[in-house]
A and B are shown apart, each in its own frame.
Chain A
Amino acid sequence: MIELPSRPGRRTLLVGLGAITAVWIAAGLAFPDSWAGALLSIAASPSTHTAMLRLAVPIALAAIGGIFAEKSGVINIGIEGLLIVSAFSAILVTFWLGAGESTLALSHHWWGFAVGVLVSTLFALLFAIVCIEFKADQIIAGLAVWLIALGLAPFASRIVFQSPNTAGVGRFENVTIPVLSELPVVGYLLFDTPPQVYIMLGAAVVGWYLLNRTAFGRWVVASGENPKALDTAGVDVRRVRYAAVLLSGVFAGLGGAGFALGQLGTFAGSGETAIGGRGFIAIATYLFANYHPIGALLGSFLFAGLESVQIQLQNLGYAVPTELIRTVPYVTVIVVLVFVGKTRLPEAAGESYDADED
């Protein structure tokens, strides 16, 4: 048996992070012209915070979707692909409806949004059929969803726009809630923001409630832990898993379409596409949050916050490699899994369920 080093635990980790943060803030306040000072002013600036919330949208929503699929026993590693197809189709439909003009009526955006969610859900259905009906390996099927999306979106874009990048279609406007938006700090953050941010915040609460307080949520958990127990209790495991995977498609679709129409206003299909691995960061996020929807929302703030700080730093002329920032979520997950060790995969995750087997 290999002896593992004793785990320092979540508390030690938090104390350590807190100490580093305190030193940084102290240094920043004492020497405003230093690196630490610049970083502090960026981290404290409202524009960083608003950007963080918007950048968190695809990560948080994809993570909440992923939680449902994985809790039910189907690991949906193709969630990146769902973000890509929903983002692209949302932009495409909005473009068609608006005949290419960049100043569109809001309703066209919402039509595009709805189609984006629908396309993502259809892809999730395809994935569900392959995994549940034909018992394909979930990881391979998930990778296939991602690779198909990665090729299909720029291909379709070339046909329509003669370029892997689509034309711009404009963005959602901010929805300002009277009175509440006047509040200090939370006002501009939470009550004067584009619609996809409201959707994200609402989805986290709805996701938590659905998973923990409804019978369906309990079935999802049972389906991922001991599907046979659920089956003998008279609940159809396949139907629960279908519902959970479709739900992951809906949530990811909300994230992808919301991100495209609320933040990007266009879709860049070259390379990693405009989604750029945010679906994989979402998987890291929900593992980090141990499958808790609200935790996943907060985790996405952390990772989106880092991205937002990095963008601001670049604007100020400090060159921080994007690639390095991108590694942070994955490194965090490894650190959390090794040292905190609270994340536990559902017992039956990744296994197909055969009701006839004894």
Chain B
Amino acid sequence: MTGSETATNDARADEELAVHLDGITKRFPGVVANDDVDLRVERGSVHALLGENGAGKTTLMNVLYGLYEPTEGRVLVDGTERSFDRPRDAIDAGVGMIHQHFMLVETMTVAENIALGNEPRKWGGLAVDRGRIDREVRDLCDRYGFDVDLSATVAELSVGARQRVEILKALYRGADVLIFDEPTAVLTPQEVEDLYGVFEELTERGKTIVFITHKLGEAMHAADGVTVLRDGRAVASVEPAETTREELAELMVGREVLLEADSDPVETGDPVLSAANVTVEDDRGVEAVSGIDLEVRAGEVFGIAGVDGNGQSELIEAITGLRTPDGGTVRFDGEDVTDWSRRRRIEGGMAHVPEDRHEQGLVMPFDLVENAVLGSQRSARFARSGRIDWADVRDHAEDVIGTYDVRPPDADAHAESLSGGNQQKFVVGRELERDPELAVATHPTRGVDIGSTEFIHERLLDLRREGKAVLVVSSNLDEVQALSDRLAVIYEGEFVAVTDPDDVTEEELGLLMAGERPDERTQPARAGSADAGGER
């Protein structure tokens, strides 16, 4: 925050609020999701709504966006009291929402998506005025410094570009207040920086931003004001400059939190997993992994950091048996498992927390009991002469739910009815409770709140203490740095460095992830040029 901005903030203090939620209470049968919550957001500012999964952030924003009607309380936009029955009413009042899962039609063009539902007509409504859409959207792009190809189909765009299309969609509908639901959850570190730039552009032109997050760093870095929600109550409203990460974490969780996972040195044993010269092609037949060697020993956490799409997914699939490598060997517990089926690998003691819990981790329409047995459906533990003992499976599911604090604690709930963070907790629990020799976890805490993140990290470190091998892939630098005993950085299918995580700074890691080779760096350590981190 620069001095001039602080000055303008003070000047704004007297102006009316862009958004004022006054004493909002939202009750669902048996649950109070929001309890007398106040939220005040100044015009032209960025406001973070910080809280753990299930703290009521999304419910509160759904009230503001017209998806829910509040049980009690008032919604004021620009000083005027409003009552929204549908999102359409909120849109008309200038409130736009950028959903976490983008609401875009992949087969349609950028322009068509932006105008969807608001198409300007010509010839008495008989045709869409496509010229006018193009003109209006180009104006918006010029004004906010966006660069998107209007005639490209959305399927061709990167995740970051898709988010910009969503923002344009809201702006096209005349939104002055933009609500972002966990906007950085799917972005690469570079795209996150770009998004913060977009926030600045928007607020400079008088737009107001409210974003939902459970990441402390984001709230500290990007917001002018932070409201912390816990168990449906607003527990504090602070300015980032006047607080610390530790204080925010405590407000959020309601107790003291260890932000750094504690990993004491442990004696490492024999290699459990070793890959030699592994080459893997992706679905398009392009080489995604080019001759990677890696070794994970018993009692060791091996981390792989990298920007998504640099071959880590393919490498993990080759290791876990979901994809056949095109070259090289994978050895597990001393045996060559390159040609082993997935089932044999599971039975051999390989657990896998996949990167996409929806596609690979869970069967969404199944309940948690059924999901708990996935991967163990043939194991002697649950299968008796070809039949599954469902009572045993239920016990197991309830164990996982209890141990990993999955909410709601109901084994009969369908996987799709759980929030993303709770789905993740369940998958992690199921996999780690297999008592594996090797645990492979990709983005183990993606979408999980810090309380549960702490727990998942502890469990991974427990495995390590028990002398098991752990392989963690993450694009979250804090996470891999804190957990790993050794850390590899992957870039375009190759390891550009394998180091002790304590020997590198976050900036250096950022540069490595962006493709800079260690030997190319002129200044070896602590270069300190944070601005260059990930800019390339």
**Footprint of B on A, CB under 8 Å?**
1, 213-215, 218-219, 221-222, 225-226, 228-230, 232-235, 347
B116 touches A230 (CB 8 A): yes
Evaluate contact between A347 and B88: CB separation under 8 angstroms. Answer: no
Residue on A nearest B169 in the bound complex, by CB: A233
- Separation in Å of the A156 CB from the closest CB of chain B? 40
Query: How far is A347 from B127 in the complex, measured between Cα atoms in Å?
Result: 25
Partner of A222, one of B87, B97, B105, B127: B105
Instruction: List 18 A-B pairs, Cβ < 8 Å.
Output: A213-B127, A213-B128, A214-B127, A215-B119, A215-B128, A219-B116, A222-B116, A225-B105, A226-B105, A226-B106, A229-B105, A229-B113, A232-B99, A233-B103, A233-B116, A234-B86, A234-B118, A347-B106
CA distance A347 to B169 in the complex (A): 22
Least CB distance, B114 to chain A, in whole angstroms: 10
Residues of chain A within 8 A (CB-CB) of B91 are 234
Q: Which of B155-188 contact A (CB under 8 A)?
A: 169
Contact B106 A225 (CB under 8 A): yes
Contacts beyond the supplied A1-B324, A214-B127, A226-B103: 5 A-B pairs with Cβ under 8 Å = A221-B105, A226-B104, A229-B104, A234-B86, A347-B107
> For the complex, what is the distance from the CA of A221 to the CA of B99, rounded to whole Å?
21
Query: CB of B216 within 8 A of chain A?
Result: no
When the two chains form their complex, are residues B121 and A215 in contact, meaning their CB atoms are under 8 A apart? Answer: yes
In the bound complex, what is the Cα–Cα distance between A250 and B99 (angstroms)? 37
Contact at A1–B323, with CB atoms within 8 Å?
yes
Q: Mark B80-124, 1 if CB is under 8 A from A, else 0.
A: 000000111001000001010011111110001100111101000
CB neighbours of B104 from chain A (8 A)? 226, 229
A75 to chain B, nearest CB (A): 17
A230-B117 in contact (CB<8A): yes
Residue of B99, B103, B116, B118 with most chain A CB atoms under a 10 A cut-off:
B116
| Interface majority SS (helix, strand, loop, mixed), chain A | helix
B126 interfacial by beta-carbon distance below 8 Å: yes
Q: B108–A222 contact, CB under 8 A? A: yes
Q: Which residues of B contact A218 (CB under 8 A)?
A: 108, 112, 116, 119, 128
Question: A233–B169 Cα gap in the complex (Å)?
Answer: 9
- Name B's A-contacting residues (CB within 8 A): 86-88, 91, 97, 99, 102-108, 112-113, 116-119, 121, 125-128, 169, 323-324
- B117→A235 contact, CB < 8 A: yes
B53 to chain A, nearest CB (A): 14
Closest to B283 in A: A1
Q: Which residues of A contact B128 (CB under 8 A)?
A: 213-215, 218
**Residue in A closest to B92 when the chains form the complex, CB atoms:** A234
**What is the CB-to-nearest-CB distance from B26 to chain A, in angstroms, rounded to a whole number?**
15
Minimum Cβ distance to chain B for residue A211 (Å): 12
Complex CA distance for A89 and B213, rounded to whole angstroms = 61
Given known contacts A222-B108, A234-B91, A228 and B103 CB-to-CB distance under 8 angstroms: yes
A215 and B323 CA atoms in complex are apart in Å by 43
Q: Contact check, A221 vs B127: say whether CB atoms are below 8 A apart.
A: no
**Nearest-CB residue, chain A, relative to B106:** A225
* Alpha-carbon separation in the docked complex, A325 to B204 (Å): 69
The answer to whether A214 touches B108 (Cβ under 8 A) is no
Q: Please report the C-alpha to C-alpha distance between residue A235 and residue B88 in the assembled complex, in whole angstroms.
A: 9
> Shortest distance in angstroms between A336's beta carbon and chain B's nearest beta carbon?
19
Q: Whole-angstrom distance from the CB of A301 to the nearest CB of chain B?
A: 27
Give bound CA distance, A213 to B86, whole Å: 28
- How far is A219 from B103 in the complex, measured between Cα atoms in Å? 14
Give Cα A321 to B424, complex, Å.
Answer: 59
Cβ of A214: which chain B residues have Cβ within 8 Å of it? 126-128
Indicate if the CB atoms of B117 and A219 lie closer than 8 Å. Answer: yes
Bound together, the chains give a CA A232 to CA B97 distance in angstroms of 9
How many whole Å from A166's CB to the nearest CB in chain B?
40
A228–B126 alpha-carbon span in the complex (Å): 25
Q: Which residue of B lies closest to A225 (CB)?
A: B105
Cα A331 to Cα B103 with chains together (Å): 38
Tell me the bound Cα distance from A219 to B108 in angstroms. 11
**Min C-beta distance of B85 to chain A, whole Å:** 12
| Bound-state Cα–Cα, A257 to B271, Å | 75
Q: List the 3 closest A-B pairs by CB distance, nearest first.
A: A233-B117, A229-B103, A215-B119
Known: A214-B127, A232-B103. A225 touches B116 (CB 8 A): no
Nearest CB on A from B217, distance (A) = 27
Residue of A whose beta carbon sits closest to that of B120: A215
Q: Are the C-beta atoms of A225 and B103 separated by less than 8 Å? A: no
Contact of B108 among A215, A221, A228, A235 (CB under 8 A): A221
Q: How far is the CA of A330 from the CA of B112 in the complex (A)?
A: 34
Which chain A residue lies CB-closest to B113? A229
- A352 and B121 CA atoms in complex are apart in Å by 29
Cβ A233 vs Cβ B107 within 8 A:
no
How far, in whole Å, are A38 and B119 apart by their CA atoms in the complex? 55
**Are B118 and A233 within 8 A (Cβ)?**
yes
Which residues of the other chain, B, contact A232 by a CB distance below 8 angstroms?
A: 87, 97, 99, 103
A317–chain B nearest beta-carbon distance, Å: 50
Contact of B88 among A219, A222, A226, A234 (CB under 8 A): A234
CB B312 to nearest CB in A, in angstroms, measures 19
Give Cα distance in the complex from A178 to B205, angstroms: 64
List the A side residues contacting B121 at CB < 8 Å: 215
Which of A213, A230, A233 is most buried by chain B, counting CB atoms within 10 A of its CB? A233
Alpha-carbon distance A94/B200, docked complex (angstroms): 71
For A219, what are the chain B residues with a Cβ–Cβ distance below 8 Å? 116-117
The residues of B that contact A347 with a CB separation of less than 8 Å are: 106-107
Query: A215, A219, A230: which has the most chain B beta carbons within 10 Å?
Result: A215
Q: How far is the CB of A206 from chain B (nearest CB, A)?
A: 11
Contacting residues, chain B, for A215 (C-beta < 8 A): 119, 121, 125, 128
A235 contacts which chain B residues (CB < 8 A)? 116-117
B292 to nearest A CB, angstroms? 20
Nearest to B112 among chain A residues (CB) is A218
Q: In the complex the two chains form, what is the Cα distance from A228 to B87 in whole Å? A: 12
Residues of A within 8 A of B116 (CB): 218-219, 222, 229-230, 233, 235
Residues of B close to A1: CB separation below 8 A: 323-324
- Nearest chain-B residue to A223 (Cβ)? B105
Q: How far is the CB of B219 from chain A (nearest CB, A)?
A: 24
Expressed in whole angstroms, the minimum distance between the Cβ of A81 and any Cβ of chain B is: 29
Q: Which residues of A contact B103 (CB under 8 A)?
A: 226, 228-229, 232-233
Nearest Cβ distance between residue A209 and chain B, in whole angstroms? 8
Chain B residues within 8 Å of A225, by CB = 105-108
Q: Which residues of B contact A222 (CB under 8 A)?
A: 105, 108, 116
A288 and B105 CA atoms in complex are apart in Å by 23
Which residue of chain A has its CB nearest to the CB of B65?
A: A232
